[in-house]
Structure 1
Amino acid sequence: MSSVLFDEHATDDGHIVGEITLNAERSLNALTLEMIELMRPQLAAWQEDARVVAIVLDSAGEKAFCAGGDVVSLYKSITGDQDPHFPERFFESEYRLDYELHTYPKPIVCWGSGIVMGGGMGLLSACSHRIVTETSRLAMPEVTIGLYPDVGASWFLNRLPVGTGRFLAMTGGAVNAVDAVHLGLADRCISSDQYPALMASLTQARWQQEGTIDAQGVVNRTLRELEQASKTTFLDLDTPVLNATPLIRELMDHDTTEQIVAAILAVESEDSWFSRAQKTLAHGSPVSIALIDEQLKRAKYMSLAEVFRSELALSVQCCRHKEFPEGVRALLVDKDGSPAWSYPDVASVEQFFIDELLASPWQTNPLETLG
């Protein structure tokens, strides 16, 4: 069975709605290089096909849309005898896919139900219509594996309310559907049981009005109706991020990364969401925390294409140092939960080490042609 399924749904008026299903349920649809290389040519073909009016991106199973990138394969390529160029191939292909989704000329509805982390956030954030459900849990938890939020996160986290993007990146804080829409990480809250209704509505819609295809209008109207029908589903969902926004802004308003970390850890809170964020921060990679702060500062005024070029260089560099593979080993391979981080705390992280990670490994970036 293919790791990605493609389907073409005929509409009543003779058009096609394409459907892409991530089909790796056992691994929570973690994004592999094979999956990326299957998706890109299909997207290109549908872009050129005038019959195709819109695309829906979803996943197999109910637990996760996509729980991240295939970091275990990256770990094996770094620590074993496999292709030493695999990290560069993987990240370049993944970021090209994300950029192509961001700039795709036809509507793409991403059904972000269940776990949406790391590489899954890259896919969701890149689509024109981002749907979350009552089961959605969005997060960028790279601090737990010695990496940093990539897949365009340097771009979309910088566009959250002041301080919130950096806080979520440093703490790996999870975001539910209602908070995701408040923050601008998603567009609409729709009940998870409405997926069949979505596909039925899209295939029964009139896509052509007076000789012109109104794809954006059809998709917007469909999603608007489904969101209205789903309102009661979300009435009881708490909004921990929204509730903590004033506190987060205060905590992030310090002069150094060390001061920010100390301020967050010093808070005495009975809020379970905030306590989990504190725990993740306390056990996260000191290098990642320092790197996250510096990368987000540097990327603040970059274009989307510049962000992906910057992230490609940084991700490849992270694969050449021990922090990232050690984090993956401890969390996902040996699962001992005891990573031997390079530095004991953020205050000990040397600036030259961060500068080395942020230096481009090439004279010409492989993504130079983006944009």
Structure 2
Amino acid sequence: MPEPGPVIFEEVDATNGKAIGVITLSVEKTLNSLTLPMVDLMLAQLQDWQDDDRIAAVWLQGAGEKAFCAGGDVQELHRSATKTPGGPCVEAETFFEREYRLDYLLHLYPKPVICWGDGIVMGGGLGLFMGCSHAIVTEKTRIAMPEITIALYPDVGGTWFLNRMPGKTGLFVALTAASINAADTLYAGMARHFAQRARKAEIFDTVKALDWKADDAANKALLTERLKTLAPAKAIQEDGSELASAVAQHRGLIDQACSGDDLETVVNAVLALDSADDKWLDKAKASLAHGSPIAAHNIWQQLKRGEALSLEEVFQFELMLSTTVVRHPEFAEGVRALLIDKDKNPQWIYTSVAEVPAELTEQFFTPPWPQNPLADIATLKRA
């Protein structure tokens, strides 16, 4: 038998002559991290399935128990960035463009898409997760956008969904790479459904057995109603106790610290928070303190400038920013320190956010080409 590819596609028989299209990210050794071939495969299959009357819904999952998807293949992006320092990074920029097309298609997909968001869901994996109409988290879900640690920023639609988290929590998790669990995800409105990991087969079998219709909108409503009782928005641990939300518990502190009018004020306020005997807050502060000051400015501006953008404008905006970021040496240095040499000692160009010149930040938000490669993104089919 041939070796299975990095993405496995199946059509599982359901009711009324329908089928569930199953997508499995199948690269366990890299925690199902996305590569360009994986993105292209999914984009093509989803486009085929959206016009296939037999497919009632899509189920998206990751192989193994460790991760749904830990993000994009950052080392491959690093190789692209170091080929032509300061110039176009063809492979990296192509990856971003195709990845954002995939994310955008998921957001607007006419058929229901269920994401089994178990284990690690980070970076590009969160982009997929947030694009799905019905995202399910488990007691093992661990979500983060740790891009500040490699001088990137929370892309894959982060401009859209971080700005829609309650209060200042989106800004906080973006600046601090804070890890959040299922309870946090439900509190933040990033998912509406919870099921314990052990119930995966039961949930899938119930989805198969739904009385699927010929109408996509009706099927979305049908699935929503069933999941309200099958997988309600309440995170329960294996012992029956409710999973605590660190974001909810710290909401007052977060909103107060992140309410400043400028980045320097916010960073200083976050770093001054009392984190004694609070491992979650202490780790978040440490990530901010050791993250790229340039990236912190890009994140601040990303969320400010992107607040009123439409979804298609968000992905066009992010492609511009990702392109300028990956061409800058700060990104390559961040990846080198964390993932290549693994010395965890990045030599950032500036030592604090106060030192970063406004002119440099403005360069990251200046289009690097005459026309955005995603100028046609709105032509993708809408729900």
Distance 1:204 1:298, change over 3 A: same
- Asked if 1:303 corresponds to 2:341, the answer is no
Give the number of aligned pairs: 369
Q: Which residue of structure 1 lines up, in the alignment, with residue 361 of structure 2?
A: 354
Partner Cα distance (1:132, 1:46) in 2? 25
Q: Give the CA deviation at 1:13.
A: 2.3
Following superposition of structure 1 onto structure 2, how do residues 168-187 of structure 1 map, counting pairs within 5 Å?
A: 168-187=173-192
- The equivalent residue for 2:135 is 130
Alpha carbons 2:153, 2:174 under 8 Å: kept: yes
Out of 263, 288, 297, the position equivalent to 2:269 is: 263
Deviation at 1:44, TM superposition (A): 0.7
Letter of the structure 2 residue corresponding to residue 3 of structure 1: P
**One-letter code aligned to 2:220:** Q
Cα deviations by residue, 1:2-30 (Å, 9 ceiling, x for unpaired) = 00000101113210110000001110111
Gaps of 5+ in 2: 379-383
Task: Provide the residue aligned with 2:377 in structure 1.
Answer: 370
Matches of 1:49 and 1:350 in 2, distance apart? 52
- Mark the CA change 1:212 to 1:281 in structure 2 (over 3 Å): closer, same or farther: closer
Alignment of 1:299-338 (within 5 A): 299-338=306-345
Aligned to 2:286: 279
Task: Tell me if 1:77 matches 2:83.
Answer: no
TM-score under structure 1 length normalisation: 0.96
Matched, 1:19 2:26: no
Specify whether residues 58 and 52 from structure 1 end up closer, same or farther in structure 2 by C-alpha distance, changes over 3 A only: same
The one-letter code sitting in structure 1 at the alignment partner of 2:19 is: I
* Distance in 2 separating the partners of 1:255 and 1:206: 52
Unaligned runs of 5+ in 1: none
Whole-angstrom distance in 1 between the partners of 2:204 and 2:315: 32
Give the secondary structure class of the aligned counterpart of 1:170. Answer: helix
- For residues 329 and 346 of structure 2, the distance between their equivalents in structure 1, rounded to whole angstroms, comes to 11
Partner of 2:381: none
**In the alignment, does 2:248 pair up with 1:245?**
no
Contact 1:32 1:69 in 2 (8 A): yes
Contact 1:191–1:230 under 8 Å retained in 2: no
Specify the alignment match of 1:32 in structure 2: 35
Asked if the contact 1:116–1:139 (Cα under 8 Å) also holds between the matched residues in 2, the reply is yes
Percent identity, aligned pairs only, is 45
Pick closer, same or farther for the CA change 1:76–1:231 going to 2, 3 Å.
Answer: closer
- Aligned 8 A contact 1:3 1:23 in 2: yes
Query: Quick one: which of 91, 96, 107 aligns to 1:86?
Result: 91
User: Which residue matches 1:227?
Assistant: 231
Matched, 1:345 2:349: no
Out of 219, 224, 227, the residue aligned to residue 215 of structure 1 is 219
State how far apart, in whole Å, the 2-side matches of 1:68 and 1:29 are: 8
Which residue identity does 1:258 align to in structure 2?
A: E
Per-residue CA deviation, residues 28-77 of structure 1 (Å, 9 max, x unaligned), is: 11111010010011001110000111000001011111111111101011
1:4 is aligned to 7
Aligned mates of 1:254, 1:7 — CA distance in 2 = 50
- The offset of 1:201, in angstroms, is 1.1
Find the partner of 1:165 among 170, 178, 181. 170
Distance verdict in 2 for CA 1:232–1:139, change over 3 Å: closer
Q: Does 1:46 align with 2:87?
A: no
SS in 2 for 1:197: helix
Give the distance between the partners of 2:207 and 2:233, measured in 1 at CA: 16
